[in-house]
Structure 1
Amino acid sequence: MARILVGWELGAGLGHVTRLRKIGRALAARGHHPIFAVRNLVESWSVLKDDGFTVVQAPIPNASPRSVKSPWRAAGLADIFIMQGMDRPGDIYPVVMAWQHLFDLYKPALAISDYSPMMCLAAYGSVPMVVIGDGFTVPPSHLPEIPKIRPNFDETAPQDDVVATMAEVQQRRGRPAPESFSRLFECESTWVCTFPELDPYRRHRETPAVGPFDTPPTPLPIPQERRFFAYLGTDYKKFKIASEGISAIGIPGEAYIRRAAPGTVKVFKDSDIQVHDRPVSMVDTLRNCSVIVHQGGIGTTEVSLAIGRPQVILTTHLEQNLNGSAVERQGVGVRVTGDYEACAIRDAVHKVLDEPSFAERAQIVANALHKRNYVDNVPRIADACCRIISIGRAEPVL
């Protein structure tokens, strides 16, 4: 039995820990001992509490303030990492050393990174690494730089500054350093798990994304009843306006509000909306709904595409906007973004319900995805991990 350190460093919500749990369970079934280092212990506990895994707090960055334009908007993933301090040795050295202490404590035979750049740096050249994620969080490692996603935007700092910072940190640790920012993610096995249509680096990949982590659900016919499902987190910047907009949609619906405090959902009290107090089965819920309103998380977007539901996506940050743009390109939904009012959500929902093309395209896209016969990638990832542990040989980069 080998110990495997499973890390989640950046990003919000339950998507990262949910997919890591599936991989952890598959590895445990193969006789290994996963140890989870997670960004958010409290939220992760609801997912991991029944599995008996060792769960510890992941080292996470706390970058020193910097002067940036307001409002700050990322040109790409590199900017997000830079805002975590990756161009400043004093900001990342303590975080990298904290990861190193976890490696020293648990002595894993393998590390698995999900959106964990500083974990990758701590492991670079010393601990075999598997990098997993959706398209956005796993940039192509063969390029000289991480590509900008918004080409007309200036980066917050040059990527060369990050390369110099990584070199300085690794020199202090007596470890090799990546030759470029993108090569930080060069590892024994890389898994880009999403639909290629949702991968912002699809034009740069040497091999397309392999499909979602799980086998996608099969397409479901859209019910005749006009009914919606809404999924929001209370950490959403425009939560108050969004919840008011959802309560005013004017048709029956269901909602799950992540981390809702008592009284948070009182805005729905007089509406025809069933509010769930715990996560629901997305497939079972969408079976009876004709449209979904959500924040553009990759997992929710994938399931909605696979089932064939029009989407209204409320976006604030870069990844949400990328997923929303992909949905719009496919003709299966609309984004609500910027400084919007509550009525914009109501109008968007009725737009996708009133215009038949959205439902028609949603079903066409779902059936096209279904014909690709995507498989469950979790066993494949677990098997790759086992091979790396047993023979120490690099897996093909996907």
Structure 2
Amino acid sequence: MSRILFAWELGANLGHLARDLPVAEELRKHGDDVLFAAKDLRVAEQVLTPAGFNFVQAPTTANAPRSSYAPANYSEMLIGAGFADVLGTLARVKAWAALCDLHRTEVLVINHAPTALLAARALGLPVVLTCIGFELPPAVSPLPSIRPWEGVPTERLQQADSVVLHTFNSVLDSFDQAPIVRVADLFADLPTVLTTFPELDHYGARSGALYVGPVSTLTNAVECPWPAGATRRIFAYLRPSVPGFEHMLAALRDTAATVLSVSPGISADDIKRLSSPRLKILPHPVALNATLQGVDLAVVYGTGTMADALLAGVPLLMVPQVIEQALAARRVEDLGAGTMWRPPRTAESAHAVLNDALSNSSLKHQANLFAKRYQGTAPETAARTIARIISDASLTG
């Protein structure tokens, strides 16, 4: 039996824990002791408690300085998460170290948790990285811009890297560990699994990387059959916080198709106000495997749903909310399997982009090609692969 700690520190959605859960279940089948350290305890309660897993609060910072501008690269993201503060970072690393000591952790599984990864390096603890492309910066210096549509000066990227590298090495020095040369070296030479596809990697396909496809499960997803006689179907997954949410729902309501919109967080009053005989709005997840069958278009904001739709051969109209989703949407556009709703997100532009997506047969063709390319992909196989790598790390650590 191995003692394994899953670490989640950055990001704020169900996806992080949902994609770790199948792996943890595989490990539990083999008798391993699994504990989760989660950033958001409410999400942990929603996902982990029904599955019977214990969790604790991940050591995070609550007072990182807010930047007046959007981060330009991964290092600027880390600065926004408190990595310009050496003392604060050292404190969080020590908290992770204490947590690992209390749990007697033998392998740390990193799911977007750079401070935990720094603690593992400081302690010499075996690590397995399991992440989507955005959470694994490429092995270059400086780390590239995450806003490629803007002309970000190289000097700005270098300065951000310099700040973060100084913090990393100050912490490592406190633990009598050798310094690293680049920010990207924190992630280097570790067992790594990318839970996406090369075509959807935010930084582009990486030579020699292990891509296993999505690994995700939501225990509260329910079946939602399409009504009989629905000849044209549109599936939407949009939160009310997505910019242009009501404009897009209005455009969907005006189409001649049958529309199912999953909108977590929507109020009962808004469901009543925005629904129509052809537009059904649900506040909870649905079982995507069944729901996506026979769908003509998926209108989504999240990267996990993008991949699920493409695996079902469904073209995409993408409505990204954050930079990670925008980068993924650009990759799908590069594939020719989807289109993005760009600002300004007005009522008029919602109708226009929706009509264009529905009438573009090329999007469906490219989505079908993607689905055929990865026809054998199965989340269960991916979960077993990751679990095996974690088990190997516990034996060699």
Normalised TM-score (structure 2): 0.86
* Deviates most, 269-278 or 227-236: 269-278
CA distance in 2: counterparts of 1:45 and 1:51, whole angstroms: 10
Distance 2:164 2:351 in 1: 44
What is aligned with 2:74? 77
Q: Secondary structure at the match of 1:376?
A: helix
Question: 1:31-88 deviations in whole A, cap 9, x for unaligned?
Answer: 10110111222123222222221111222233433553xxx33323222222212222
Q: Equivalent residue of 1:340, what SS?
A: coil
**Aligned partners of 1:342 and 1:153: how far apart in 2?**
31
Task: Name the counterpart of 1:107.
Answer: 104
Mapping of residues 337-348 of structure 1, within 5 Å: 337-348=342-353
In 1: Cα distance, 2:102 partner to 2:248 partner: 44
Deviation at residue 385 of structure 1 after TM alignment: 1.1
Offset at residue 214 of structure 1 (A): 4.2
Q: Which of 301, 318, 321 is residue 323 of structure 2 equivalent to?
A: 318
Deviations 1:100-133 (A, max 9, x none): 2211221200100111111111111421111111
What CA deviation, in whole Å up to 9, does each residue of 1:336-362 have, x standing for no partner? Answer: 122311343332222121222222222
Aligned to 1:218: none
Of residues 269, 276, 284 in structure 1, which corresponds to 2:275?
A: 269
Aligned residue in 1 for 2:226: none
Q: Are 1:139 and 2:137 counterparts? A: yes
Distance in 1 separating the partners of 2:175 and 2:353: 53
Alpha-carbon deviations, 1:335-393, whole Å to 9, x = none? 0122311343332222121222222222223223337899822111111111121232x
Stretches of structure 2 lacking an aligned partner (at least 5 in a row): 217-228
Query: Tell me, which stretches of 5 or more residues in structure 1 are unaligned?
Result: 216-222, 393-398
User: Is 1:280 aligned to residue 281 of structure 2?
Assistant: no
Q: Which amino acid aligns with 1:212?
A: G
Could you tell me how far apart the structure 2 residues matched to 1:108 and 1:187 are?
20
Please identify, of 237-246 and 46-55, the stretch whose mean Cα deviation from structure 2 is larger: 237-246
How many pairs align?
A: 379
Contact 2:317 2:354 in 1 (8 A): yes
For the 8 Å contact 2:17–2:44, the answer to whether it is kept is yes
When residues 361 and 123 of structure 1 are mapped into structure 2, their CA distance, relative to the original with a 3 A threshold, is same
User: Match for 1:22: what amino acid?
Assistant: P
The answer to whether residue 211 in structure 2 is matched with residue 210 in structure 1 is yes
The equivalent of 1:128 in structure 2 is 126
CA contact (8 A) 1:311 1:333 kept: yes
1:162 aligns with 2:167: no
Query: How far apart, CA to CA, are the structure 1 residues paired with 2:253 and 2:63?
Result: 38
Q: CA deviation at 1:191?
A: 0.9
Counterpart residue number, 1:395: none
**For 1:8-157, what aligned pairs fall within 5 Å after superposition?**
8-66=8-66, 68=68, 72-126=69-123, 127-140=125-138, 142-150=139-147, 152-154=151-153, 155=156, 157=159
Greater CA drift, 10-19 or 175-184: 175-184
The 5 A counterparts of 1:207-356 are: 207-214=208-215, 225-249=231-255, 251-295=257-301, 297-356=302-361
Give the 3 Å change call, closer, same or farther, for CA 187–119 of structure 1 in structure 2. Answer: farther
Structure 1 pair 64–194 and aligned structure 2 pair: CA distance change class (3 A) = closer
Q: CA 1:322–1:195 in structure 2 vs 1: closer, same or farther (change >3 Å)?
A: same
- Which SS does the other structure have where 2:46 is aligned? helix
Letter in 2 for 1:51: A
Work out the CA distance in 1 between the residues paired with 2:88 and 2:257.
49
Residues 261-311 of structure 1: per-residue CA shift (max 9 Å, x gap): 44343332335222224211112111142111111x221111111111111
